Amino acid sequence: MNGVHDMGGMDGFGKVEAEPNEPMFHQRWEGRVLAMVRALGAAGAFNIDTSRFYREALPPDVYLASSYYKKWLLGLEDMLIAKGFVARDEVTGGHAIEPAKPLKRGKFTVGDVERIMVRGQFGRDATAAAKFNRGDRVRAKNIHPTTHTRLPRYVRGHVGVIERNNGCHVFPDSAAIDAGENPQWLYTVVFDGKELWGNDADPTLKISIDAFEPYLEKA
């Protein structure tokens, strides 16, 4: 979706302000939100792509005005309600009213914590040969799906070069909408700064994205 989360190349957000000796969490609740998202994801309530989609789908003014973990909280509430794990009046009232919906991998307990500290695996067996090779010129398709995609707007329609084949991976565009993993080849595609930003761009700049095969066409 063409949301405000797709920020690459936008102007007007100001300077990057780094906080010296930044704590891991600024408020206790931030850690609770992170933990709830990780726990319910691991228990099978949703996948990582779906959780990103719900955050992106927050109204643009809410997205921009909310802190990082507030976006996580709002996305989590919306997602759990949409998937039937909790009801809106339970969230507002702060108590369970309706029976629980079974989780794919059951209740998340202390014994599951170690498992989630290992990063998930997204590589899958290939179902077809890769269409592109290293060095091929490709164009990022001019597509505008209204659901989740990982093709940023700033590369659409532009030509780059395949630098690396990262193997076949879960396709976020499908996984996010519960349409299955639909594995696709994943390539690192490099663009010249001028191709993306015009002749005023820094001549030394190159930018890469990791692009799934359905995002690309031969240039």
Partner 1 sequence: MTEHDHHHHDHDHSELSEIELRVRALETVLTEKGYVEPAALDAIIQAYETKIGPHNGARVVAKAWTDPDFKRALLEDASKAVGTLGHVSRVGDHLIAVENTSNRHNLVVCTLCSCYPWEMLGLPPVWYKAAPYRSRAVKDPRGVLADFGVSLPKDVEIRVWDSTAETRFLVLPMRPKGTEGWSEAQLSELVTRDSMIGTGFPRTPGAPS
Footprint on residues 189-208 left by partner 1 (CB under 8 A): 190, 196-197, 201-202, 204-208
The residue among 44 and 219 lying less far from partner 1, judged by its C-beta, is 44
24: contact with partner 1 by CB under 8 A: yes
- Pick out residues in 83-142 that bind partner 1 (CB under 8 A): 85-86, 90-96, 100, 103, 107-110, 112-114, 116-123
Q: 141 to 170, contacts with partner 1 by CB under 8 A?
A: 150-152, 154, 166, 169-170
126 and 186 Cβ atoms separated by less than 8 Å: no
Q: How many beta carbons lie within 10 A of that of residue 84, not counting itself?
A: 10
Question: Are 170 and 46 spatial neighbours (Cβ–Cβ below 8 Å)?
Answer: no
Looking at the Cβ atoms of 25 and 128, the one nearer to partner 1 is 25
- Does 180 contact partner 1 by CB under 8 A? no
Q: Which of 137, 130, 188, 135 is nearest to 158 (CA)?
A: 137
| 73 counts as binding partner 1 under rule CB under 8 A | yes
**Residue 76 parent element (H or E):** helix 68-82
Antiparallel, parallel or unpaired: β 184-192 and 216-218:
unpaired
